[in-house]
Amino acid sequence: MKRNNALLQLILIISTSYCNLKIGAFNVQTFGKAKYSNLTLRNHLVTVVLKYDLILIQEIKDVSETMIFNFIQDCQAESSTLDLIVSPRLGSSSYKEQYAVIFDTLKLSVKKQTVFDNPRNLFSRPPPNRSLHLTRSPVRDFTVFGVHVDPDDVVQELNEFPAAYEYAVSQGYPPQGIFMGDMNADCSYLSSRKYHDLLMTSDDRFKWLGVNDLDTTVSKTTTCYYDRIVLCGDLDPRHFTHPAIDLFDGEITNDMAKKISDHYPIYVTWKMGDYDGGNTADTSQAISNFRNILKEFLCRCFPVLNECKDAEWLESAVLFLSIVSILICRRIVGYFNLVIT
């Protein structure tokens, strides 16, 4: 029984750590057919998407609403487990855009999507709500709110986020969620004083990740933290890394970066291993227990090994086999989309 418990503990930890999520938001400036048709830019964008388990793409501008489906096929050619859900074209004027969420189907599935009911035109582009299901996680379901705030109405729109959140919850969406996207929440659009006066900064249901110390703009003449990630409900910021900026591949010139977009992607990692049963001490103990079980099993199958049970080469071989076993377990868990409850 003790051996079974140790093995089960190891499998649980492997399964949980496998489901850490890298989550990003990327305003791809004027992402339409012209940008898509440029093979160099398209390849750069595919490379960006492949880094994430879930990424929100904003500013999709294609009247035919077909380009984004061609783009996901390009991404799937590199990673067949990717899929997307895309919003209708949104906008209160002739200017309209779409939001898309691209996600790894080994870790996530989409349960439903609706758009915030916007009868009073509270938003220039009302945020779509997506309910997503985590296949292997202590947190099963959460809501993603994709946002691209109108730079002319930053304070007004940000102050309506609580209403959008309450609407989603009233429609049966999970109360734990993430607002993310280009909020234009810095520099001339939102001063420090106005930021601190926002309803979301004094409402305990919302937690802004990070402090005002990032620059999400590509231009070397600006230092503005426009793109943000805000948790809502009972999601704990301690389970997320500090927001960071994805500088594309780090090798391209600033001129090339500007052709890709005027924004860099912002991202965090949701650390599922921080929940109960996934801390480092437990992991180390589980692996140690597993190594001991494997070593005893080998000695029983091959009695000659009992004569050299403490040999350094045997310890190295057991360690190697343990690592291989862990990697195989990870592959099996991912392939069969296993749910550990």
Residues carrying an active site annotation: 97, 148
E strand or H helix at 144, and its extent? strand 141-148
CA atoms of 33 and 63, how far apart (whole Å)? 10
CA atoms of 266 and 183, how far apart (whole Å)? 12
Per 3-state DSSP, the chain is made up of helix, strand and coil in percentages (nearest 5) of 40, 25, 35
Rg (CA), the chain: 23
Alpha helices in the chain (DSSP H): 2-18, 33-37, 39-49, 67-78, 154-159, 161-170, 192-197, 199-202, 254-260, 280-301, 312-335
**In the numeric block, which tokens belong to residue 262?**
């005027």
Q: Is 258 exposed, middle or buried (0-12, 13-18, 19+ CB in 10 A)?
A: middle
Instruction: Give the position of tokens 């992607």.
Output: 265
Q: Please list the residues that pair with 257 across neighbouring strands.
A: none
Residue type, 44: H
Considering only CA atoms, which of 178, 179, 187 is closest in space to residue 217?
Answer: 187
The number of CA neighbours under 13 Å toward the Cβ of 44 is 26
Instruction: Give the DSSP letter of residue 258.
Output: H
Phi and psi at residue 129, in whole multiples of 5°? Answer: -105, 130
Give one word for 30, left, alpha or beta, with left for phi > 0 and alpha for psi -120 to 50: left
